[in-house]
Homo-oligomer: A and B are copies of this chain.
Amino acid sequence: MASMPEPAALTARAVARRELTSAIVAVARRQMAEIGPAQLSVRAVARELNMASSAVYRYFPSRDELLTELLVIIYDELADATEQADARRRRGDFSGRWLTLARTTRSWAVSHPQDYALLYGSPVPGYAAPERTIPPAARVTAVLIRLLRDVHRAGAVPAARERVPRSAHRTLASFRQAVGEDLPDDLALRGLTAWGGLIGALTLELFGHLQNVITDHDTYFDLVARRLSPVL
């Protein structure tokens, strides 16, 4: 028998590398959840892992790469949560799917406020997210986009509440192309407005702007989410 290299034969080194890489990410993530994205520090991560700060550079070439890794992981995590929640709903239950999306996003955000700040708060000073963060970021919005698409295909687009000016068609061109479906302007706008309203509601809540205004945030969010529904 010809000597085949074991397909999953990982050297001890490779195993160790995989393990330490994910340990670094895990620690970075935990620390970031406490101190916020801008304060993420290579040295602090190394300290917690009892290794020299220089050793981290065998795994990530710079702090920014580490941040990028976190960004990707966190986008993916949020996308996983919303995708799975969406999958549990009947496809034709458009209202329910929107509410599920909104609520899932919120409960994720509320339990990971600094992660939310990384994704939707102020940009981290001196850091520019590279290309490879785009696909995971797009996964998050894709859940809403699929919902809009399904509504459209089902012919369940609600009647427009107001006339959409003709200029809207051009303005929404890139969006329609990103969606890959010829959504009516009104539906596209409903979707985008809902998305903005969701982010706005979470931003106000998580960054403390509803402090003396709202006490029962759960109930309040539900009320707002219903109103924002793009399918009603």
Q: Which residues of A pack against B, CB within 8 Å?
A: 35-39, 117, 120-123, 125, 134, 137, 161-162, 164-165, 167-168, 170-175, 178, 189-190, 192-193, 195-201, 203-204, 207-209, 212-216, 219-220, 223-224, 226-228, 232
Contacts and interface: CB of A to CB of B under 8 A. Distances in A.
Nearest to A196: B200
A220 B208 CA distance: 27
A115 to B, nearest CB: 11
Interface of A is mostly: helix
A193 B121 contact: no
A120 B117 CA distance: 11
B123 A207 contact: yes
B38 A224 contact: no
A35 B214 CA distance: 33
Given A39-B125, A122-B36, A165-B223, A203 B199 contact: yes
